[in-house]
Amino acid sequence: MQTPFPFYEVLAWAVGPLLALVILAIGYLRNSLCELRLFAAYLVFFLFREMSYFWLSHSHLAASRGVYDYYWITEFLLASLRLLTVGEIYWRSLGNYPAVWDLTWRVLLGLAAALLLWSAYSAAQHTAKIAKFFYNGLQCLEFMQAALLVASLAVIVYYHVQLLPLHKLMLIGLCLYSLVQVMTYAMASRHPGAMHYWFSLIRQTSYAAAIFLWVYAFARPVQTRAPAPTLISRAEYDDLSVQFDYRMKVLNNRLLTMLRS
């Protein structure tokens, strides 16, 4: 099929590996990737996948089923690495806030487990073809990533946890990309054929936008570790919390009485 914007398509594809290389170079020179090892692993694997897929798609194997399967399996692995990067950033951000970490990791893990089960169930519906299996698993994984990212950011804002600008921009980039992916996967599955080209182009553009955001985040003066806040003791927390709980509960009861009056 002849594509309407072949130059843009090539540009959108090429910009990802090039900018990933730029991030790795900046990260190496400034030592800013040492705290984000999973993200560095993701970038390296992404570069390897793009180069290998480029070579495969221009070889005599281009039309084979194996290359198609290879694309979707590696895409699934990349999504998994992005998901692990989210976990890494969340863990790094909450490292200085043990109480918030202790309070929220179970909730987020529960959400992740529920979404993972759903992903596994969705993928299990398509076990006949390996590419289809990973394609469906990937859709759910992207959705899971977007939901977890929104939930993590909600926790961070709710508890006024310090989030480094680098981490914030990385999370925004990951979240925007995942959400666009989810929407385009869902719509592309309903409109195959000619429309598939447009959805593919949107996906590539959204990835280019996300990676531009990461380059911007790494190109700025980077602070890779947040200063630890001064923490209070459990006794003080207990002292104040009891008062809060009691008063808030009474206040609720009063409001309930007002409603019933």
Partner 1 sequence: MTTAYIIAAIALMLLILLAVILRAGSGGRVADPPSPDKVLKSSREELRPSHYRNLSVVLQALSEQDDLFLTSRVNPEIRKRARAARCAVALQFLEGLREDHRRLDRLARMLTALSHSVDRGREYRRWWVTARFELFCLLLSLKLRCGAAPIVQIRQATNLIGDLAVQLERAMHAWQDASLKSPAISA
Which residues contact partner 1 (rule: CB under 8 A)? 97-100, 102-103, 139, 143, 146-147, 149-150, 153-154, 156-163, 165, 168, 172, 175-176, 179, 182-183, 186-187, 189-190, 226-227, 229-234, 236-241, 243-245, 247-252, 254-259, 261
Closest C-alpha among 36, 151, 161, 134 to residue 79 = 134
Helix axes 6-30, 37-57, angle to 10 degrees: 150
- Tokens 């996948």, residue? 49
Separation of alpha carbons 36 and 32, rounded Å: 8
Residue 40 vs 140, nearer CB to partner 1:
140
Tell me the three state secondary structure of residue 32: coil
Separation of alpha carbons 84 and 89, rounded Å: 9
Taking a C-beta distance cutoff of 8 angstroms, is the pair 35, 92 a contact?
yes
